Structure 1
């Protein structure tokens, strides 16, 4: 299955605050908040939504096509991704801007305060999907994940025009979009991916009920944190999948990206929605248990064992043949 993953490609600057942000915030002073947090450490990692998703798919044996805009400083990052199975031949390299930067501080409650510098990402709006499909002999699925907002809308429009199945995954860029932009992004999508808060924010911007949302997208996938994931289809199917048992929370950065990688990898194997959510949840747990978004390994025997422990032997047996030894 030829899967193109569009979205941000960035370097993550991750810090840890040995306290609770909530203890430093005064409710009636939030309109003039001015805070500085002394952190314990600084770790530089490879990141970006699209790169994280593509890396996860590569860990599961796929060869995803990465689409995004980067700076000339991308050479080492490119080598890393290609060594892990990611096709980077369609990545756009800016002549003037640096690769994007994500700067994030996490407290002891796993709450986060973050900033994102777009850099070269703003040039992603110039990327066309057609030449990529021509190079590969077609595209089976396009993930439209968090990116330059104009690029996201353009990619969705091109998918509709060319008949490519696509996934609308607005993520943190919902804050930058108005209702018309959101509709332009999601309309006609095979899948809509959000977390619970993003779903509420999206619906408040577009004024659509759950039923009306499913008139525009075929499948709604909503991650619910510790409560797992909810999947609802236009045909009336509805299911809940719990999180993996005994996952150890170390760093939540990129957990949603891991879920998406596992979810769409499993669908590409021909597995159903429940199995896809289970594979996605386990890959998300691997991300949660490491510092950094691309610092984990998928080891087949361990992966299958944890699937069986959380979701039963049948799930493990269905997934095992698709994993690379």
Structure 2
């Protein structure tokens, strides 16, 4: 049985530094027009990230078969080697020799404020990746260059591969017509509660009305769980309590990984959402988007304790 899942989106590095002070003490409102500041950051860590990378990592943790579809530079050799060592199929990650891998540089102060700079690098040429002719049981179109997102969506739609559209950080790129076009292609939409409100405003339709033209819409609500809109009904998915709250980075991607794995098992969307909630709760208890590493038995035990479900043996 083909259990491959096409994970279309970004594979990126996150460089995270901490400024042991407060930005507000150095960024003066009266001098903002000639801003020139420098921050001493004694700690730094480099994380493996990107939506496709994070989703693939979580899906593989569960025993799924993710096939990331992304564009990177030659500086991603250690990332690709790591994926391969985890059993992730990297044949659709295209290496562009003249580009850098997408990178996000984030500096956080002691108040939790962040200054970030994102370099899209090879992501800008994601249309050069082609999934036509690929077979998969499910797919997802996660944040990437808009043209690449549409190319992959149209290819999966033409191949009759059901897929999830995850708007995420690509939200500023999509106007009303773009959203309407994607609505005609995707099977399931998923976004957080803020993104849902923006989509409602941009499309001048309620989430309930938008769900009528899809298999379902899943809206995540952080610590409050999620809401599933399916077959004209709205169902609340109770949250799974995290053992600790350390870092929300990548929690949405972890949820998508759990959701996709449940769907590949043939579970209902409600039960797949519950598995997504488990993965989000596991992720938030760990620093960085890909540093959690629970065993399958531990994930199954959490799923059973929270929802009475279990992963297949």
TM-score, structure 1 length as denominator? Answer: 0.86
Distance 1:141 1:167 in 2: 8
The verdict on how the C-alpha distance between 1:208 and 1:42 changes in structure 2, with shifts beyond 3 A counting, is same
Residue of structure 1 aligned with 2:66, choices 64, 67, 73 = 64
Residue of structure 1 aligned with 2:47, choices 45, 48, 52 = 45
Structure 1 partner of 2:258: 262
Residue of structure 2 aligned with 1:149, choices 146, 151, 154 = 146
Unaligned 5+ segments in structure 2 are none
**RMSD of the alignment, in Å?**
2.7
Aligned residues: 310
Unaligned 5+ segments in structure 1 are none
Distance 1:301 1:148 in 2: 37
Residue of structure 2 aligned with 1:281, choices 252, 277, 282 = 277
Q: Is the 8 A contact 1:97 1:120 kept in 2?
A: yes
Give 1:273 deviation, angstroms. Answer: 2.3
3-state DSSP class of the match of 2:191?
A: strand
Give 1:107 deviation, angstroms. Answer: 5.6
Distance 1:186 1:15 in 2: 38
Structure 2 partner of 1:305: 301
The verdict on how the C-alpha distance between 1:231 and 1:107 changes in structure 2, with shifts beyond 3 A counting, is farther
Structure 1 partner of 2:216: 219
Q: Is the 8 A contact 2:138 2:264 kept in 1?
A: no
Greater helix share, structure number: 1
Distance 1:140 1:173 in 2: 25
Structure 1 partner of 2:191: 194
Structure 2 partner of 1:81: 83
3-state DSSP class of the match of 2:55?
A: helix
Listed one character per residue, the Cα deviations across residues 68-126 of structure 1 (whole Å, up to 9, x for unaligned) are: 10111222111111111211011111121011102234566766553321101111112
The verdict on how the C-alpha distance between 1:149 and 1:14 changes in structure 2, with shifts beyond 3 A counting, is same
The verdict on how the C-alpha distance between 1:307 and 1:200 changes in structure 2, with shifts beyond 3 A counting, is same
Structure 2 partner of 1:176: 173
Structure 2 partner of 1:252: 248
TM-score, structure 2 length as denominator? Answer: 0.89
Structure 2 partner of 1:239: 235
Structure 1 partner of 2:286: 290
Q: Is the 8 A contact 2:212 2:232 kept in 1?
A: no
Q: Is the 8 A contact 1:203 1:209 kept in 2?
A: yes
- Counterparts of 1:116-131 in structure 2, within 5 Å, are 116-131=118-133
The verdict on how the C-alpha distance between 1:248 and 1:17 changes in structure 2, with shifts beyond 3 A counting, is farther
Q: Is the 8 A contact 1:156 1:186 kept in 2?
A: no
3-state DSSP class of the match of 2:232?
A: coil
